[in-house]
Amino acid sequence: MAVIKAFKSIRPEKELAGKVAALPYDVYNTEEAIEAVKGNPYSFLHIDKSEIDLPSDTDPYSEEVYLKARSTMDSFTEKGIFIQDDTPKLYIYRLIMDGRIQTGLVCCSAIDDYINGTIKRHELTREDKEKDRINHVDYCDANTGPIFLTYESKKNINAIVESWTGKQTPEYDFVTEDGITHQVWIIDNPETIETLVDEFDKIPSTYIADGHHRTASAVKVGLKRRESNPNHTGNEEYNFFLSVLFPHDQLYIMDYNRVVKDLNSMTTDEFISKLEEVMDVESSGSQPFKPSQKGEIGLYLDDTWYRLTVKENTVDYKDPVASLDVSILQESVLKPLLGIGDIRTDKRIDFVGGIRGLKELERRCKIDMKLAFAMYPTSIKELMAISDAGLLMPPKSTWFEPKLRSGIFIHQLT
């Protein structure tokens, strides 16, 4: 059953919360992060991506970077940019995007829940990315970015959360530069905290929606500290990591689209002819085609949009992974026709989050790519089914919006 825990959050001083809050570190490259923090000395990117405040030739994985992150975090505390609650609390984090609301519970989850499979994953992690976050967590002695978890929505939990937000004034209430509203409430009532802990103890599984590398890194830091502590009890803060739990029916997954550099030595006519063997192909001319249901894929090639429809006899719909549209595209088109076997490593393919729209696919095809595929979004139910089966989704299968901001909550490990 899911273990959650209240904690004494390190968080921004109320008037600075909107300036501190930043998109996750892996949304930016170094140059983009430098641009994002211009004129804002409070941005959490100064901690989360601290190489931006070091010489341009600094290795982003050097010890110097992690030491800089720690010193900046200490400086934020000394200057009063960060404060820390004096007793363990739970927090409610609400995001509003285009009128759509998702409300999550901020808490600590147990690393043992990840180890024993109560917290379920659907992606592989890369060792180099894990190592970076392990060092960042270890040097900062804190989880600095929340893990985005989901669970099957429960009426009892929803009622408690809605009751609290309906009666209490939010501690934070600000709008970020992308127009997303962020609101935070503090749950400081011991009985309410205990009730929520008990309610989650009835939930058999939670699921990683976003943050596989941060989760794996937090777990490895916790295990390393267990080994080095002969008096380990299991109650130490390093046995838990920062998370935000959202009910599954509030989440919004956008399409995660593909752009490809060439036609693998084929002409356009040759490619379309081969494509027609595995999919129904219908031209929509210059009118962009956005898939409206599972089994539809948009193709943009040579200034023309096409509607691709998956032929049912080509798909095993009993297989939760093989039946994903991204899997069908990979196994029917990308691999056999375009020669792209491993989308993790092949430099001929790139990925475009649905937040950028179909115009971005057209733009890329005019600049550095030859063709684009517009996908129908993977559903949260598909994600949960694959996780429940102990299977893995193909890379770049989901794009969640809105993104959780880092820097609003920090969980100290000692």
Range of the domain at 201: 4-252+401-412
DSSP string, 207-250: EEEE-HHHHHHHHHHHHHHHHH-TT--S-SGGGEEEEEEEEGGG
Measured between alpha carbons, how far apart are the two ends of the chain, in Å? Answer: 25
pLDDT computed for residue 27 by the predictor: 83
Task: List, in sequence order, the alpha helices (H) in 11-154.
Answer: 17-20, 30-36, 45-48, 63-78, 111-115, 127-140
CA dist 48 → 100, 184, 287 (Å): 28, 21, 41
Residues 196 and 52 grouped into a single domain:
yes
Beta strands in 255-303 (DSSP E): 256-260, 279-285, 296-301
Give me the phi and psi of 372, to 5 degrees please: -135, 150
Residues 236 and 282 grouped into a single domain:
no
pLDDT computed for residue 214 by the predictor: 93
Give me the phi and psi of 92, to 5 degrees please: -110, 130
**Token code pair at residue 269:** 């006519």
Which stretch of DSSP H or E encloses residue 28? Answer: none
Give me the phi and psi of 165, to 5 degrees please: -70, -25
Give me the phi and psi of 64, to 5 degrees please: -55, -35
Residues 240 and 273 grouped into a single domain:
no
Considering the entire predicted model, what is its pTM?
0.91
Rounded-to-integer distance, Cα 66 and Cα 106, Å? 25
The answer as to whether 384 is a domain residue is: no
What b/e readout covers 328-366, taking b as 16+ CB neighbours within 10 angstroms?
bbbebbbeebbebeebeeeebbbebbbeebbebbbbbbe
Residues 202 and 263 grouped into a single domain:
no
What b/e readout covers 41-77, taking b as 16+ CB neighbours within 10 angstroms?
ebbbbbbbbbbbbbeeebeeeeeebbebbbebbeebe
Q: For residue 344, which amino acid is it?
A: R
Q: Is 88:101 a contact under the CB 8 Å cutoff?
A: no
Residues 232 and 315 grouped into a single domain:
no
The answer as to whether 381 is a domain residue is: no
The answer as to whether 199 is a domain residue is: yes
Residues 321 and 177 grouped into a single domain:
no
pLDDT computed for residue 176 by the predictor: 95
Residues 272 and 136 grouped into a single domain:
no
pLDDT computed for residue 384 by the predictor: 96
Rounded-to-integer distance, Cα 387 and Cα 382, Å? 9
Residues 183 and 56 grouped into a single domain:
yes
Residues 232 and 272 grouped into a single domain:
no
The answer as to whether 40 is a domain residue is: yes
Residues 322 and 186 grouped into a single domain:
no
The answer as to whether 241 is a domain residue is: yes
Bridging pattern class, strands 181-187 and 256-260: unpaired
Length of the chain in residues, anyone? 414
Number of structural domains found in the chain: 2
Residues 230 and 289 grouped into a single domain:
no
The answer as to whether 383 is a domain residue is: no
pLDDT computed for residue 90 by the predictor: 98
The answer as to whether 136 is a domain residue is: yes
Residues 143 and 217 grouped into a single domain:
yes
- Residues 24, 184, 91: CA angle, nearest 5 degrees: 90
Q: Is 78:71 a contact under the CB 8 Å cutoff?
A: no
The answer as to whether 382 is a domain residue is: no
Low-confidence ranges of the chain (pLDDT < 70): none
Positive or negative, the Cα torsion across 364, 370, 376, 380?
A: negative
Among residues 362, 171, 385, 102, the alpha carbon closest in space to that of 257 is found at 362
Q: Is 68:135 a contact under the CB 8 Å cutoff?
A: no
